[in-house]
Amino acid sequence: MNWQRLWLGFLLPLTVSCRAVGPGEKEAAVDYLLQYGYLQKPLEGPDNFRPEDVIEALRAFQEASELPVSGQLDDATSARMRQPRCGLEDPFNQKTLKYLLLGHWRKKHLTFRILNLPSTLPSSTARAALLQAFQYWSNVAPLTFREVKAGWADIRLSFHGRHSLYCSNSFDGPGRVLAHADIPELGSVHFDEDELWTEGTYRGVNLRIIAAHEIGHALGLGHSRYTQALMAPVYAGYRPYFKLHPDDVAGIQALYGKKSPEIEEEEEEEDTALPTIPLVPTEPSPMPDPCSSDLDAVMLGPRGKTYAFKGNYVWTVTDSGLGPLFQVSALWEGLPGNLDAAVYSPRTQWIHFFKGDKVWRYINFKMSPGFPKKLNRVGPNLDAALYWPINKKVFLFKGSGYWQWDELATTDFSRYPKPTKGLFTGVPDQPSAAMSWRDGRVYFFKGKQYWRLNQQLRAEKGFPRDIAHNWMHCRPPNTTASDGDTDSSVTGTDHAATG
């Protein structure tokens, strides 16, 4: 791993109980910090981690793990990193120690389907454990869960090994990552088939507790910094008299309210009538074909997911292919389709959507109070928007010009718009979409093609390329997967964000 060697030689000496730490142990620690969100992973090219970045990441991990905060890779820190855990990242609530909310379902009566069961438990025991996992949450919040045996379900539970055609997150064999899940309203919950799943014993991994944790993610909860909470990222082992931690209860009730003694029949009917994610078009707008459509907007969203927008629909793009198409309003309530532009800022955690003369702001999937607002200082009907990580500014594009916006400071827009090609060399006018990566690479889209710019903001040789083949992983007729190169660099880390 070249990017690791760049900083390992310069890192301040790390010791474990007065012994030197080998390069392998250092690399394993950095892999862990990258995988679980304590260090930001680059997408392309060499990476120069500063020693203070790694030390700060170690300190953050130690603080979250309730270990002595030293910034050094000591025995306790190494042991903590080796413990089995959830595959989701640890974007802890940095302001308080309370629960973290990542999204929510817009209804309280959910269906679930158990697609298969582990081989290490009798089917009746495994099924009872999974049903009990749902009940932990329905006992403290006004949620109901109904099992379906066939067809679509809101939450889908399955077991698979290291690789699966239906999951872009690979498992790592026994130990380490036990399971992972998607946040609302996606609904996938996956368990590592290679684990020794058990019930009622200290041996192996308790299915009931891990399932309850992953269902918590599927309901919208992030990881908790309370090490005894169910939503803590590291598996604490079998607990015969397990019950939810107060932080777990407070988090789920912040999303869905407190459990009422009785649910009135009218309220139940009203909840049931709330819309679910439609998988077939119910609006006049036709469902787009990602392999033939141009794009309205593209966004590198929260936690590294790439979202592509067309008409009333949105889908995710990963290096293993495309996610299902959802209606835009099903993920971001209150947001219209046919967007002009979309941009996510890691600096502020804000997502801004633009359409006509209005702008919408969301944090994850929740709209900020006071939005939508009217665009007053930039022109309406923007073409594209992107966040540039080099200067931490948002760029808005229209026609042949751009505006540069500092989200946290008063911006003088009287000097704008400026000519796009004066800063971004070799890009087309009136782009249909734009986005950037944390390493400084920038992408512009127009029609069926896209351009990639280097850190000097110049279009690279060999571009433009075909969006369908190189981005959407669509195969041209009568070709095989080896025909041409796909630009896996643009989606290489997306799958890590699905949890």
Distance CA(343)–CA(394), nearest Å, equals 8
Q: Give the number of other CB atoms < 10 A from CB of residue 413.
A: 14
Q: What are phi and psi of 404, to 5 degrees?
A: -110, 125
Query: Is 89 an active-site residue?
Result: no
CA proximity to 212, closest of 139, 328, 132, 153? 132
Distance CA(67)–CA(51), nearest Å, equals 21
Distance CA(495)–CA(379), nearest Å, equals 35
The answer to whether the annotation marks 195 as part of a ligand binding site is: yes
- Cα-Cα-Cα-Cα dihedral of 24, 27, 32, 37, to 10°? 180
The answer to whether the annotation marks 429 as part of a ligand binding site is: no
Does the N-terminal peptide bond of residue 417 adopt cis geometry, omega within 30 degrees of 0? yes
For residue 127, give both structure tokens: 């099924």
Whether 263 and 118 have beta carbons less than 8 Å apart is answered as no
Q: Which sign does the torsion angle of CA 153, 155, 157, 161 carry?
A: positive
The answer to whether the annotation marks 245 as part of a ligand binding site is: no
What is the crossing angle of helices 207-219 and 123-138, to 10°? 40
Could you write out the DSSP letters of every residue in 305-360? -EEEEETTEEEEEETTEEPPPEEHHHHSTT--SS-SEEEEETTTTEEEEEETTEEE
The answer to whether the annotation marks 109 as part of a ligand binding site is: no
The answer to whether the annotation marks 79 as part of a ligand binding site is: no
Amino acid at residue number 241 = Y
Whether 170 and 161 have beta carbons less than 8 Å apart is answered as no
What is the crossing angle of helices 23-35 and 51-64, to 10°? 70
CA angle (250 as vertex; 249, 253 as ends), nearest 5: 85
The answer to whether the annotation marks 262 as part of a ligand binding site is: no
The answer to whether the annotation marks 182 as part of a ligand binding site is: no
Residue tagged active-site, from 214, 262, 269, 283: 214
Amino acid at residue number 72 = Q
Whether 248 and 229 have beta carbons less than 8 Å apart is answered as yes
The answer to whether the annotation marks 190 as part of a ligand binding site is: yes
The answer to whether the annotation marks 192 as part of a ligand binding site is: yes
The answer to whether the annotation marks 473 as part of a ligand binding site is: no
The answer to whether the annotation marks 154 as part of a ligand binding site is: yes
The answer to whether the annotation marks 213 as part of a ligand binding site is: yes
The answer to whether the annotation marks 248 as part of a ligand binding site is: no
The answer to whether the annotation marks 383 as part of a ligand binding site is: no
Residues making up the annotated binding site for Zn(2+) are 86, 180, 190, 213, 217, 223, 231
Residues making up the annotated binding site are 86, 154, 172-173, 180, 190, 192, 195, 213, 217, 223, 231, 296, 340, 342, 385
Residues with catalytic function: 214
Residues making up the annotated binding site for Ca(2+) are 154, 172-173, 192, 195, 296, 340, 342, 385
